[in-house]
Amino acid sequence: MKTEKQFIPLNIVVLTVSDTRTDSDDISGKALAERAQAAGHQVIEKQIVPDNIYRIRAAVSAWIAADDINVIITTGGTGVTGRDGTPEAVEPLLDKVLDGFGEVFRMLSYQDIKTSTIQSRAVAGVANATYIFCLPGSSGACRTAWDELIKEQLDFRTRPCNLVQLMPRLMEK
């Protein structure tokens, strides 16, 4: 007899990267936090930092080092303009890159925004047993990433496999 897997709530933090957003108009960060909570996870912190590689890296580094954080989701700074630096800030911190995330995200985005998806440098990876997802700043992109990719991979019940089931093994040497 198969037993049903139980949902495992994760501790998630959300980082909005923007020079102009505030708590009152941060639609993307708010959407991610609401979706994570609606899925049963705990959003333990939400922060906004300017488009500055070192400020982004400092926030993400502190969360990677914290023992109680399982997932970091950033929104913003993944485009191609001079101020967009989220991938440059985060990628050096990653132990492993999840290449498939960016590939699948752009494939899904293509359905909505066609060739404009090539401007997205969405990335994901793992560092110190913490999953990190770097998403574009648009609320549509955040909804696509959460609804179509992240939500299921952060649900222990997703078959045939998910990122949660790998968490006990992330620190193996």
Give residue limits of the domains in the chain: 11-167
The single-letter code of the amino acid at 130 is T
Quick: pLDDT tens for 44-58.
999 999 999 999 999
**Which residue's structure tokens are 């139980």?**
6
Tokens of 100: 């498939």
The pLDDT of residue 36: 98
Where are the alpha helices (H) located in the chain, listed in sequence order? 27-38, 53-65, 86-90, 99-113, 139-145, 151-153
pTM metric for this prediction: 0.97
Residue 158: how many other CB atoms lie within 10 Å: 15
- Asked if the 11-167 domain carries CATH number 2.30.110.10, the reply is no
pLDDT-flagged residues of the chain (< 50):
none
pLDDT tens string 77-104: 999 999 999 999 999 999 999 999 999 9
Based on the number of CB atoms within 10 Å of its own CB, is 122 exposed (0-12), middle (13-18) or buried (19 or more)? buried
Amino acid 84: pLDDT: 96
